[in-house]
Structure 1
Amino acid sequence: MFFHALSPSEAILNNIKIVDSTLRDGEQTAGVIFNKQDKVKIAKELSDLGVYQIEAGIPAMMGEEFEAVSAIAKLGLKSRIMSWNRPVLSDIDTSLKAGVDSVGISCPISPIHLHFKLGLEFDEALKLTDKAINYAKKHGLYVSTHMEDAGRAPRNFLVRFALMAKESGSDRLRICDTSSVMDPFKVYETVTYLSERVGIPLEVHMHNDFGMATANTLVGVASGSEFASVTVLGLGKMAGNASLEEVIAALKFLWGVDLGFDFKKMISLSNYVSKKSGVEIPDFRPIIGKKLFSTESGISLDARKMGKKISAFSAQDLGLVEQLVIGKHSGPKAVKNKFEEFGIQLNDEQINIILPKIKSKVSELSRPLFDKELMLIYKETFNS
């Protein structure tokens, strides 16, 4: 099924809630370990940023993981604090001891995951999850029921599981693309299908193995999902999850949905998570790459400074600064602007003299020039 001119309604957009799973799913990135101190700081920054709910970890793992979740739950943050649990009563008991106000109860629903992860038939898993939800609700917890590997589950499994979750009192239903097999068309079809037949608040939790996590998340929201699950930097197993920074930026700059996030804080948080996780941020990564707003064109830079946006958003929108670099594509305007940054006013004759020398040096080094290299060329040209 193809969707045509999909455009989210105001009613949907005004109710979007961001759920961050950096401390749980994000930590499943190969080689990433956050200690207790790291987790507490990240949780504080996520709450300060304005995230609706933080998936803080898995208390049932015990040890420092339990201590970290418990410490976060005691902070009194604005964000709700959720733990991840199997459909096992002892997991929920441990989450209660940790002091969280919400639990995610996660169960595989695709035949292949049911067989290899649980060794159960669908009906058995359904009863197990039903019991866990009822138990959590009796203890006053907010419950998010997670359908693992929903993208490979038969439709009747999706509906039966969703109806069970609703009837058992689950507060919402998470559609997990655990194996990263869903594309925007599949997400649209699944979200609309469940919305029409079940009537329970939905959440999309998308993985990024095919580079579609952000697109899938946005389509999920536009199709009726109230909750969007993300991680900082898109951390997660294999190619990761939908990234916090991409989703909230797309909502704001493409759809005009301002969730109140401070992008300066978001960039600070991204840098901290990068440092603690050891996952480097590529220079030209969308939204937060440090060279994203570098340009070799003086005309483009002037236009941006005048408020005429070359792209959908500017460095100023994110609390950053435009950077002019001098490289292969730089012309007279760029050179003039760059030397003005040094407090040097070049006239047209000087620009015509120095520009070929700059181009020659760029070609020799096969890269843009550093400021000190530009100044050296200037001194050799005009002060010799």
Structure 2
Amino acid sequence: MSLTNFAIIESTLREGEQFANAFFTTAQKVEIAKALDAFGVEFLELTSPLASPQSLEDCRTIAALPRRTRILTHTRCHMDDARVAVDTGVDGIDVVIGTSSYLRQFSHGKDIPYIIEQAINVVEFIKSQGVQVRFSTEDSFRSDLVDLLTIYRAVDQIGVNRVGIADTVGVANPRQVYDLVSTLRKLVSCDIEFHGHNDSGCAIANAYCALEAGVTHVDTTVLGIGERNGITPLGGLIARLYATDRSLVRKYNLPLLREVENLVAGIVGIDVPFNNYITGFTAFTHKAGIHAKAILNNPSTYEILDPADFGLTRYVHIAHRLTGWNAVKSRADQLGLELTDDDLKEATAHIKALADEKPMALEDVDAVLRAWHHRIPVPHAQTALAEITHRNGVAA
């Protein structure tokens, strides 16, 4: 098994535009495209040019940008759509059609023989125009396996560049994903793409298992935005791959991840979640005393990701009742305060007692440490510490 041969299809400008708060202007799309190009994703997927007049112009505009990233657009498996998409100048076209009984009955109303015939016609036309083409089933995991494999084999035989598996409603689990990809990998010679929604919380795990099973391309969006709960988040996939082997993601400009996420979050009017993979404000924050001591000795004890690789720093939080004297000692060292271990342990006990009364700030801890540094006798230290309790509204 090898995870080294994979590419990210970044779909913030297609799937992400289906997010409830996304109303991208052309200028915003260009800004996002440039940021993702700088980050180093291999592909950008854009909304179908048939969606609206602006969508058509956006495809043309972004396809014309100077870039390393290849530009894709996403269309129905329909010849009229394919003709318009080819004329936009994109590098590739991702065609899709629903194959589950739900979508065949309640969406397009076509049977499997029709889908195969249509897929062959559209794929052959796009290839004749010198444009790469992916064919994907929609709602793959609620489709009949025999139907899926019959369709995939038909398009593989005519030279499609990729076939796609889509967990459109987020129903699949990692084992199901691994099994389907493994089966398909034995059947087709072309590349395989995975698109996984996060309705049941498995998008990252499913994407990772798809890679383990032989997928070559994974769809992501920044912060996982998209239809309903969205799809595999770019940062989450990066975190999972980095935790496996950091060499897998060296091809990406990792310190730009926070900038990309802040850009998209600002445009769609949301906050980056506090517990977001890598960039959430608590991602590298350590609080419990036993954790802080170990982190100060060796960060690998409680960090599987190195914040420095992402242009970030860790934070040892000490202004609370769970703090430990080793963490307090580290802060005293930062402040240049020479204190004995006994002094530090006494100061730590006092910090804990204050924190039991009211939430504290780092400046409060610093005031305690300075009081002990000046050798104020403990019984009289209340005078020096009164400002803390008064500021926090606690009786001294």
Larger Rg: 1 or 2? 2
Equivalent position SS for 2:125 = helix
Q: 2:311 aligns with which of 287, 309, 319?
A: 319
Number of positions where the alignment pairs a residue of Structure 1 with one of Structure 2 = 372
* Structure-2 residue corresponding to 1:340: 333
**Residue 160 (1) aligns with residue 150 (2):** yes
| Equivalent residues in 2 for 1:21-36, closer than 5 Å | 21-36=11-26
Q: 1:286 aligns with which of 259, 277, 288?
A: 277
TM-score (norm 2): 0.88
| Equivalent residues in 2 for 1:234-253, closer than 5 Å | 234-253=224-243
Q: 1:126 & 1:280 partners in 2: Cα distance?
A: 43
Measured after TM superposition, the shift of residue 302 of structure 1 is 5.9
Decide whether the 8 Å contact of 2:71 with 2:90 is kept in 1. yes
Measured after TM superposition, the shift of residue 182 of structure 1 is 0.9
Q: 1:245 & 1:287 partners in 2: Cα distance?
A: 7
Q: 1:257 & 1:109 partners in 2: Cα distance?
A: 37
Measured after TM superposition, the shift of residue 118 of structure 1 is 0.6
Q: 1:145 & 1:32 partners in 2: Cα distance?
A: 26
**Residue 358 (1) aligns with residue 351 (2):** yes
TM-score (norm 1): 0.90
Measured after TM superposition, the shift of residue 256 of structure 1 is 4.5
Measured after TM superposition, the shift of residue 299 of structure 1 is 6.2
* Structure-2 residue corresponding to 1:373: 364
**Residue 261 (1) aligns with residue 252 (2):** yes
Stretches of structure 2 lacking an aligned partner (at least 5 in a row) = 372-380, 385-396
| Equivalent residues in 2 for 1:91-102, closer than 5 Å | 91-102=81-92
Measured after TM superposition, the shift of residue 83 of structure 1 is 0.3
**Residue 192 (1) aligns with residue 182 (2):** yes
* Structure-2 residue corresponding to 1:270: 261
Q: Greater CA deviation, 348-357 or 136-145?
A: 348-357
Measured after TM superposition, the shift of residue 306 of structure 1 is 5.3
Equivalent position SS for 1:251 = helix
Which amino acid is the alignment partner of residue 268 of structure 2? Answer: S
* Structure-2 residue corresponding to 1:54: 44
| Equivalent residues in 2 for 1:171-250, closer than 5 Å | 171-250=161-240
* Structure-2 residue corresponding to 1:125: 115
RMSD: 2.1
Stretches of structure 1 lacking an aligned partner (at least 5 in a row) = 1-8
Q: 2:296 & 2:24 partners in 1: Cα distance?
A: 40
Decide whether the 8 Å contact of 2:321 with 2:353 is kept in 1. no
Decide whether the 8 Å contact of 1:173 with 1:201 is kept in 2. yes
Decide whether the 8 Å contact of 2:256 with 2:310 is kept in 1. no
Measured after TM superposition, the shift of residue 81 of structure 1 is 0.2
Q: 1:376 & 1:235 partners in 2: Cα distance?
A: 44
Decide whether the 8 Å contact of 1:214 with 1:247 is kept in 2. yes
* Structure-1 residue corresponding to 2:388: none
Measured after TM superposition, the shift of residue 379 of structure 1 is 6.3
Q: 2:54 & 2:298 partners in 1: Cα distance?
A: 49
Q: 1:145 & 1:231 partners in 2: Cα distance?
A: 20
Q: 1:266 & 1:64 partners in 2: Cα distance?
A: 28
Measured after TM superposition, the shift of residue 353 of structure 1 is 3.8
Q: 1:312 & 1:375 partners in 2: Cα distance?
A: 30
Which amino acid is the alignment partner of residue 289 of structure 1? Answer: G
> Could you report, residue by residue, the CA deviation over 1:19-53 in whole angstroms, capped at 9, with x for unpaired residues?
11111111212222222112111111212222111
Which amino acid is the alignment partner of residue 266 of structure 1? Answer: L
Which amino acid is the alignment partner of residue 56 of structure 1? Answer: L
Q: 1:282 & 1:350 partners in 2: Cα distance?
A: 39
Q: 1:376 & 1:312 partners in 2: Cα distance?
A: 34
